[in-house]
């Protein structure tokens, strides 16, 4: 019996770590989306906003913009907002849409699709992801300088620095979750920082599932399910097909994941399901 018990415990552990979730394809656009980096769902208006680089990822060429489509991937308007450079992360607060555009955070009035202002970030050269709190505080990461900035009432201040591989961000209540290379990190309001998990690939998008767990993407083509205790599952691997998985959007009610495939030029929707 003493010899059998460790074997049973090992089997139980292996079962507890078994794959419990999967992504089921729902729909895909044609390859007509000009280098999509981020998808932001507007679930009240049944719209998806998409940042369009439409050029080199870090070049200020004026070719970028923000597209809009229905929540089902139809009625695509590639010219909803134009005149940006290489926009990436998107966030929204009330009628203001925020876009990270290399060195500026661009603010767009959603009802009119007009530029409200540009918020310049001192020394920034690689603004990447954006998240907005329920109270309208904006956080933006700079992947090239390893910094995270906090914007309150349109005034930026340095929030965290020395974050190697700074990228994905997500504000959840009073905490800020962020990517530090392949590690998913959390900073509380006092800036106490802990590591939640390491997925082994540089993290791009971060989305809370709603139960304490997260969906995490890595740009080459990986999507992970990360449990609150740090365990993880690989849900999707499309890197060999060169279908990138950039900064995803997520509907926590319908459990639908919206994936921008970057150089593959599509938006793909998946249903998050249990095995």
| Res 9: pLDDT | 37
Give phi and psi for 213, each to the nearest 5. -95, 170
| pTM for the full predicted model | 0.93
Per-residue pLDDT tens for 93-106?
Answer: 999 999 999 999 99
Q: Looking at the domain covering 21-274, what would its CATH class be? A: mainly beta
CA distances from 192 to 111, 228, 268, 270 (A): 38, 17, 36, 34
Residue 67 CB burial class (10 angstroms; 0-12, 13-18, ≥19): buried
Query: Domains of the chain: which residue ranges?
Result: 21-274
| Res 10: pLDDT | 37
List of residues 6+ apart from 140 with CB closer than 8 A: 89, 98, 100, 105, 121, 127, 128, 129, 130, 148, 149, 151, 156, 169
Residue 18 pLDDT class (50, 70, 90 cuts)? confident
CA end-to-end span of the chain? 33
Q: How far apart are CA 199 and CA 186, in angstroms?
A: 15
| Res 14: pLDDT | 37
Percent of the chain with pLDDT over 70: 94
Mean pLDDT across the stretch 253-272?
98
Residue 275 pLDDT class (50, 70, 90 cuts)? confident
| Res 2: pLDDT | 36
| Res 17: pLDDT | 56
Per-residue pLDDT tens for 185-231?
Answer: 999 999 999 999 999 999 999 999 999 999 999 999 999 999 999 99
List of residues 6+ apart from 6 with CB closer than 8 A: none
36: pLDDT strictly greater than 50: yes
Which is it for the CA torsion 113, 93, 41, 247, positive or negative? positive
Alpha-carbon radius of gyration of the chain: 19
**For residue 42, what are its two tokens?**
């507007």
């Amino acid at each position: 019996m003493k010899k059998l018990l460790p074997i049973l415990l090992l089997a139980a552990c292996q079962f507890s770590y078994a794959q419990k979730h999967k992504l089921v394809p729902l729909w895909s656009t044609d390859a007509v989306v000009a280098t999509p980096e981020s998808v932001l769902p507007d679930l009240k208006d049944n719209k998806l906003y998409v940042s369009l680089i439409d050029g080199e990822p870090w070049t200020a060429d004026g070719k970028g913009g923000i597209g809009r489509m229905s929540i089902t991937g139809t009625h695509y308007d590639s010219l909803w907002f134009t005149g940006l450079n290489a926009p990436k992360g998107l966030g929204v607060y009330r009628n203001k849409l925020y876009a990270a555009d290399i060195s500026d955070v661009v603010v767009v009035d959603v009802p009119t699709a007009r530029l409200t202002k540009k918020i310049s970030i001192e020394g920034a050269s690689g603004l990447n992801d954006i998240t907005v709190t329920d109270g309208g505080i904006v956080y933006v990461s700079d992947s090239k300088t390893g910094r995270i900035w906090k914007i309150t009432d349109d005034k930026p201040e340095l929030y965290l620095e020395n974050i190697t591989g700074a990228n994905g961000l997500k504000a959840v209540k009073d905490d800020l979750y962020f990517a530090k290379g392949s590690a998913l990190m959390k900073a509380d309001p006092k800036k106490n920082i802990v590591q939640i998990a390491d997925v082994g690939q540089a993290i791009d998008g971060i989305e809370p599932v709603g139960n304490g767990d997260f969906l995490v993407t890595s740009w080459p083509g990986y999507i992970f399910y990360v449990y609150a205790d740090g365990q993880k599952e690989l849900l999707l691997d499309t890197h060999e097909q060169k279908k990138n998985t950039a900064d995803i959007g997520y509907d926590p009610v319908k459990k639908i994941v919206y994936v921008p495939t970057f150089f593959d030029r599509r938006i793909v929707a998946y249903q998050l399901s249990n095995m």
